[in-house]
């Protein structure tokens, strides 16, 4: 990366070179998780010892010529397999329907000409042309840019877009996050400005691919229910196998090997609770079906029950607790604040008209940036059809943001062409600097800025100037700006979150917020939603210095983690698991995927979430509604309680069945219950009664 690019002579790759590189390095895409085949689902089902016993007994009956008994046993096998297969395939189809199959197109420079190509065909050293609204197709270095702002929340969790700068030919590539970096990343979104970037990494080699590689190194852990059931079945299976061998040996000594095999199987089946599989499938399928009515998709059925036993819920702030969009919350002008959030339906006081007018003039006419969109919406709402909206003014010059001055200005020519009106907006410090205020005024304004920032607001300063001379100056500082006021924006809390959080606490669940945002923003949101102990937090840099033991201690008492990177989300989840917690984790971004996969229950967003997040999760919220999680927890707890009742009932039924199978063997009587009778009792009557609990 040591070379400096001559921006005047960039022609990009030739189509021929791009084709050669594509063939050599592969498509610019991540290897998608393969859809489970019918064969793999069947293989998992037939690993259950209960079904293997049923299958074995059915085949023996078939060998003996007892076709009706054999068909009945095999019918039970097909019922269990059919229910499982139907539920798994239905879930896979729903997930495929969520996935956006069309590859986004990228604008690149090939043979000196701009060309639209499928995103998957972008290769290393391609020259990307980046514009507002573009999804960046690959990692790259910024060769030239103007006001380039990129939303990297899917990778970092930060709700605010970050500024990009031009590469100096020396800076080595770093992880995403933070302003004034000369790097762009695959999957992120251009929200303002434009630029040209050279591709450095594609597909699995990009930053998004690094997270994909981390995913492959994480083994999905079995749910507590699966572990307990497997342990129980294993113990019963060993006992049943020992008794079966003893019975077969006793009958074999008399030369009655087939009778001995049937007697041994009868005893094994009487001991082994093979109806567990039927009852579990029915309970979990019914739970998954009920959850689907609440717009919650269950990708792994055991997760329904596990969610009910969750002790800790880790929440990603941006997009889960908040709406991941900026709204105009507060206006400050003339020493007064105005709460636009609370007074949204009332007319805007005259004092604040000029502030909104010049905030609008300092924005794009047809903006893509969420903050500028909100300024435009606010202006149209409060100032529409007034003299403050200047549709006939002409934009004659733009002064972009720079590293040295974090403010931009638009120069407009008035309709009478007698003057130029300049509107500036940017960081409050930069706008204050443009206005050349004295120290007292500066300190007073910065106090207001701090008060607004402490409430979790993103604050912009707005200023104006009138210029009547020609030509226009080269520098924004050459205008005489007058400070107008401050605009405060916030990513609002989703409706119903405080109530849902209260229900989580009532259910005995601990709730932790994990975010890439700043501690002040996280604390403000925490207080809004009622998160416990909002004054205590741990930041990413602090966490990076901790040992595993220190982290395990810290996570037991801290509910806010701020400035967290993807690897640290995974570390937090693993630390909670090491403390014996059953962890549920929500998320929507690529950065959440490793933690979603590692958690006992990963909960992804369906509408806004990425494919990577959805594929790593156990549960998908189709409507992105946090309160649906509470409904799912309630459902899981109900299923867990009902399962305990059903299991108690199943064991009480097994005692007489085992007795009826064992006593004839002990006293030399003919068998009272054959495998087909036991199967009928255990797979029809027993589950039918058990399901009453559900």
Active-site residue list:
316
Q: Which of 266, 81, 166, 239 is nearest to 661 (CA)?
A: 266
- Taking the C-alpha atoms of residue 236 and residue 242, their distance in angstroms, rounded to an integer, is 10
**Spatial CB neighbours of 21, under 8 Å, sequence gap ≥ 6:** 13, 123, 124, 125
- Taking the C-alpha atoms of residue 313 and residue 308, their distance in angstroms, rounded to an integer, is 11
Cβ atoms < 10 Å from Cβ of 458? 18
Q: Count CA within 13 A, CB hemisphere, residue 370.
A: 18
- Taking the C-alpha atoms of residue 27 and residue 611, their distance in angstroms, rounded to an integer, is 18
Q: Say if residues 460 and 489 touch (Cβ distance below 8 Å).
A: yes
Cβ atoms < 10 Å from Cβ of 417? 8
Query: CA-CA-CA-CA torsion for 365, 368, 370, 373, nearest 10 degrees?
Result: 30
- Taking the C-alpha atoms of residue 363 and residue 409, their distance in angstroms, rounded to an integer, is 9
**Gyration radius of the chain over CA positions:** 32
Helices 627-667 and 257-271: crossing angle in degrees, nearest 10, is 140
**Length reported for the chain:** 694
Exposure class string for 446-455: b at 16+ Cβ within 10 A, else e:
eebbeebbeb
Q: Say if residues 459 and 429 touch (Cβ distance below 8 Å).
A: no
């Amino acid at each position: 990366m040591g070379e400096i690019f001559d921006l005047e002579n960039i022609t990009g790759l030739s189509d021929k070179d791009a084709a050669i590189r594509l063939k050599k390095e592969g498509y610019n895409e991540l290897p998608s998780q393969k859809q489970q085949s019918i064969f793999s689902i069947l293989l998992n089902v037939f690993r259950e010892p209960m079904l293997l016993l049923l299958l074995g007994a059915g085949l023996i009956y078939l060998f003996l010529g007892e076709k009706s008994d054999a068909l009945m046993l095999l019918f039970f096998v097909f019922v269990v397999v059919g229910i499982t297969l139907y539920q798994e395939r239905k879930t896979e189809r729903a997930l495929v329907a969520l996935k956006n199959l069309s590859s986004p197109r990228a604008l690149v420079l090939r043979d000196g000409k701009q060309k639209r190509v499928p995103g998957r065909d972008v290769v290393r050293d391609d020259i990307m042309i980046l514009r507002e609204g573009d999804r960046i197709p690959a990692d790259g270095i910024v060769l030239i840019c103007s006001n380039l702002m990129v939303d990297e929340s899917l990778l970092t969790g930060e709700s605010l877009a970050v500024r990009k700068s031009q590469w100096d030919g020396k800076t080595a590539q770093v992880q995403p996050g933070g302003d004034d970096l000369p790097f762009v990343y695959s999957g992120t979104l251009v929200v303002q400005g434009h630029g040209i970037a050279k591709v450095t990494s594609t597909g699995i080699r990009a930053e998004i691919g690094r997270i994909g590689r981390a995913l492959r190194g994480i083994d999905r852990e079995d749910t507590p229910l699966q572990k307990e059931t497997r342990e129980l079945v294993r113990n019963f299976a060993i006992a049943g196998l020992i008794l079966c061998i003893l019975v077969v040996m006793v009958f074999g000594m008399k030369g009655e090997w087939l009778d001995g095999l049937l007697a041994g199987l009868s005893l094994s089946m009487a001991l082994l609770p093979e109806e567990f599989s039927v009852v579990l499938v029915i309970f979990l399928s019914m739970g998954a079906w009920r959850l689907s009515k609440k717009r919650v998709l269950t990708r792994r059925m055991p997760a329904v029950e596990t969610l009910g036993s969750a002790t800790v819920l880790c929440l990603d702030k941006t997009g889960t607790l908040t709406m991941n969009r900026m709204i105009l919350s507060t206006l400050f002008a003339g020493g007064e604040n105005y709460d636009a959030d609370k007074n949204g339906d009332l007319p805007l006081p005259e004092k604040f008209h000029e502030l909104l007018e010049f905030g609008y003039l300092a924005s794009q006419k047809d903006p893509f940036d969420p903050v500028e969109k909100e300024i435009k919406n606010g202006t149209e709402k409060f100032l529409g059809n007034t003299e403050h909206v200047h549709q006939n003014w002409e934009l004659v010059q733009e002064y972009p943001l720079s590293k040295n001055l974090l403010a931009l200005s638009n120069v407009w020519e008035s309709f009478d062409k007698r003057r130029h009106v300049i509107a500036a907006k940017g960081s409050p410090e930069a706008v204050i600097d443009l206005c050349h205020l004295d120290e007292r005024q500066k300190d007073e304004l910065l106090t207001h800025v701090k008060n607004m920032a402490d409430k979790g607001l993103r604050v912009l300063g707005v200023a104006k100037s009138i210029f009547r001379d020609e030509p226009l100056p080269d520098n924004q500082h050459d205008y005489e700006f007058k400070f107008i006021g401050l605009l405060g924006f916030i990513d609002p809390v989703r409706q119903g979150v405080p109530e849902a959080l209260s229900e989580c606490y009532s259910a005995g669940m601990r709730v932790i917020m994990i975010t890439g945002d700043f501690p002040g923003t996280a604390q403000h949101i925490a207080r809004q939603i009622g998160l416990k102990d909002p004054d205590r937090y741990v930041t990413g840099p602090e966490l990076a210095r901790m040992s595993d033991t220190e982290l395990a201690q810290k996570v037991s008492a801290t509910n806010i983690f701020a400035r967290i990177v993807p690897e640290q989300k995974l570390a937090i989840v693993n630390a909670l698991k090491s403390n014996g917690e059953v962890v549920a984790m929500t998320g929507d971004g690529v950065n959440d995927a490793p933690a979603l996969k590692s958690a006992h229950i990963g909960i992804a967003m369906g509408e806004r979430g990425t494919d990577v997040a959805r594929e790593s999760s156990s549960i998908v919220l189709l409507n992105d509604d946090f309160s649906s999680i509470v409904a799912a927890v309630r459902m899981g707890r109900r299923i867990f309680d009902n399962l305990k009742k059903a299991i108690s009932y199943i064991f009480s039924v097994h005692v007489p069945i085992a007795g009826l199978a064992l006593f004839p063997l002990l006293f030399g009587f003919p068998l009272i219950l054959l495998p087909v009778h036991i199967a009928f009792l255990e797979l029809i009557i027993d589950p039918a009664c058990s399901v009453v609990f559900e």
